[in-house]
């Protein structure tokens, strides 16, 4: 695969290849949310990826909503990430930290009985959420006051600074999959009448404020953004999705970002509100590096890069059971299948996490 496996200059960051390890929430940080040695082993096993994007990492206690996912808002969390970035770098890899706020996709059980926050008081229509006290029904979130929005933006900035101190090569702002930034972007979840809602441009404001804040800590060419224009995960999908997301991509173009990460594939769920937004359309409004994601195979990824549709391709599930995914691609070795989904995103230790052998070991 001459294009996918060739070196690539991501702005000023040299990558060994164009294979990106997508962010995968794996729930191995423990109840204290502090990154640990097991996570160090997991990420170092996969360091042959051109770029690793870490699992979604919460920026504040308010941002939490997933059992045993890591954070980046305390000194201990920051210190916990340092051996991980060092281990990836020791194997020649590069790693960005994905910054996460779950918004309404959380529960009061994570917040001492206080409701999760969101742009508007619109309940997620899912069946239930896993909480520290067991499965619970989703709740109607509390709408953020206008004055509170700046405080959340400040949390993103503080987390970005901690990521820099922890040794990451950059950060990715998680603006996809129905989490807080995506909730601000979409009319389904943003019914505000202040400066952060009401039309396409104002719904982009929170995203742009977050990017500007993070880019005041990092150079913009070390900041990526992830969008999911076609996704229905976390009960998302808005009628004007095409206009909204292409407008957002156009605004992001002015920042000089490291890349725009678009979940263009439909394997993670499609809202079926019209024709999917494509990488070709994103390319028309965003001139920087473009990353495709979701459901790609070796062949389709090579085709996407060879055709110029994107510059990088992120692989998620294949990296779960194939720590040596790049080597398997390079040598034509078959991929292992991670059949037991019960271990994928659950706090069950090494099982289904670091116990997948490389092809040469088998």
**The two structure tokens encoding residue 289:** 């590096």
**The two structure tokens encoding residue 12:** 């000023």
Pick the catalytic residue from 8, 138, 179, 296: 179
Rounded Cα–Cα distance for residues 288 and 223 (Å): 12
| Catalytic status, residue 179 | yes
Chain Cα centroid distance, residue 121:
24
Rounded Cα–Cα distance for residues 202 and 227 (Å): 17
**The two structure tokens encoding residue 163:** 């990521």
**The two structure tokens encoding residue 168:** 């990451």
Rounded Cα–Cα distance for residues 290 and 82 (Å): 28
Rounded Cα–Cα distance for residues 222 and 97 (Å): 11
Residues known to be catalytic: 179
């Amino acid at each position: 695969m001459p294009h996918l496996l060739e070196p690539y200059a991501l702005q000023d960051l040299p990558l060994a290849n164009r294979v990106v390890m997508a962010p995968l929430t794996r729930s191995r940080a423990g109840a204290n949310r502090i990154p640990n040695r097991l996570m160090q082993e997991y990420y170092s096993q996969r360091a042959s990826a051109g770029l690793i994007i870490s699992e979604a990492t919460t920026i504040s206690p308010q941002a939490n909503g997933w059992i045993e996912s890591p954070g980046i808002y305390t000194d201990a969390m920051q210190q916990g990430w340092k051996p991980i970035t060092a281990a990836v770098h020791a194997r020649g890899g590069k790693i960005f930290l994905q910054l996460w706020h779950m918004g309404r996709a959380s529960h009061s059980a994570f917040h001492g009985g206080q409701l999760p926050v969101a742009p508007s008081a619109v309940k997620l229509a899912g069946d239930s959420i896993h909480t520290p006290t067991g499965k619970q029904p989703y709740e109607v979130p509390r709408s953020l006051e206008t004055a509170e929005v700046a405080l959340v933006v400040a949390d993103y900035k503080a987390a970005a600074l901690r990521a820099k101190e922890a040794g990451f090569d950059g950060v990715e702002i998680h603006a996809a999959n129905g989490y807080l930034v995506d909730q601000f972007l979409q009319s389904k979840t943003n019914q505000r009448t202040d400066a952060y809602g009401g039309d396409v441009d104002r719904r982009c404001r929170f995203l742009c404020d977050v990017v500007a804040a993070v880019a005041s800590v990092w150079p913009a060419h070390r900041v990526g953004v992830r969008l999911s224009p076609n996704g229905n995960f976390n009960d998302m999908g808005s009628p004007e999705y095409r206009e909204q997301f292409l407008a957002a991509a156009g605004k992001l173009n002015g920042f000089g970002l490291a890349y725009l990460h678009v979940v263009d594939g439909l394997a993670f769920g499609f809202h079926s509100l019209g024709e999917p937004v494509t990488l070709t359309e994103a390319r028309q409004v965003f001139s920087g590096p473009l990353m495709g994601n979701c459901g790609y195979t070796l062949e389709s990824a090579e085709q996407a890069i060879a055709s110029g549709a994107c510059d990088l391709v992120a692989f998620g599930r294949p990296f779960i059971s194939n720590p040596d995914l790049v080597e398997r691609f390079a040598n034509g070795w078959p991929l292992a299948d991670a059949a037991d989904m019960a271990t994928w995103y659950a706090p069950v230790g090494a099982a289904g996490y670091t116990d997948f052998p490389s092809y040469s070991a088998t």
